[in-house]
Amino acid sequence: MSELVLFEDTPLEVERVLTDGYRRMSTARKIARVRDLNWTLQQLALAELRARFPDAEERTLRLRLAARTLDRSVMIAAFGWDPEADG
């Protein structure tokens, strides 16, 4: 059975160490890592929105962030905010 190569630019031995570490990690720790990565991605997305819309209010920035993953109909129903008209 051949090994799965995850990263073309990473030595196989380094991938093995990484994979073994994830295998030994508890479920709770894996969930915490995913939560932390999601938080980091949200912060990066908010930083990008702040750069694009420097005068926008915080609520508007957060609505723009939510609109990246929620349908327009959900944004209107849940927040009374139309990404096409207001975004």
Q: How confident is the model over 58-79, as pLDDT tens digits?
A: 999 999 999 999 999 999 999 9
The pLDDT of residue 2: 59
Give percent of the chain above pLDDT 70. 97
Residue ranges covered by each domain of the chain: 12-86
The pLDDT of residue 61: 97
pTM assigned to the model: 0.74
Owner of token pair 């139309």: 82
